[in-house]
Amino acid sequence: MRILFVCEGNMMRSQMAEVFYNSLTNSSAATSAGATAETKDHISPRAIEVLDEVGIDGRNLRPKQATPAMVEQADRVVYFPSDFMPDYVKDSPKAELWDVVDPHYHREQGMDLVRTVRDDIRHKVAVLVSKT
């Protein structure tokens, strides 16, 4: 099953979901993208830090821009809340929303929030994997 995870910038939430899914399934069936992904050569340093804490190296991950073709090619699309999420993601019959807060907009809560988001996503991915 090919799964596409989409968040706002593909800097944290969707990247975590992708690596957790691929790690749990020992595959490369998941990919991730952002509704407004910037062209950068790395993901969020805070995401790298919290992934390191659970033994996953995220230094090689790069943000990717979501496209209608990516949605079309996926068997399932999981997206996270964003004011910028395109209709082609939200309106896809393959799509489901995972209501996980974006730590980017809550920096005042620090790394504790990033860890909570990581753990929430890891749990949701584990449940998803158990059902497939």
Q: Report the CATH number at residue 60.
A: 3.40.50.2300
Q: How confident is the model at residue 107 (pLDDT cuts 50, 70, 90)?
A: confident
Domain residues for 42?
3-130
State yes or no: pLDDT of 3 exceeds 90.
Answer: yes
pLDDT of residue 78: 98
Domain count, the chain: 1
The DSSP line for the chain is: --EEEEESSSSSHHHHHHHHHHHHHTS--EEEEETT----SS--HHHHHHHHHTT---TT----B--HHHHHH-SEEEE---TT--HHHHT-TTEEE-----GGGGGGGHHHHHHHHHHHHHHHHHHHHHT-
pLDDT of residue 112: 95
The pTM assigned to this predicted structure is 0.95
Q: What is the pLDDT of residues 62-82, one digit of tens each?
A: 999 999 999 999 999 999 999
Q: What is the pLDDT of residues 91-106, one digit of tens each?
A: 999 999 999 999 988 8
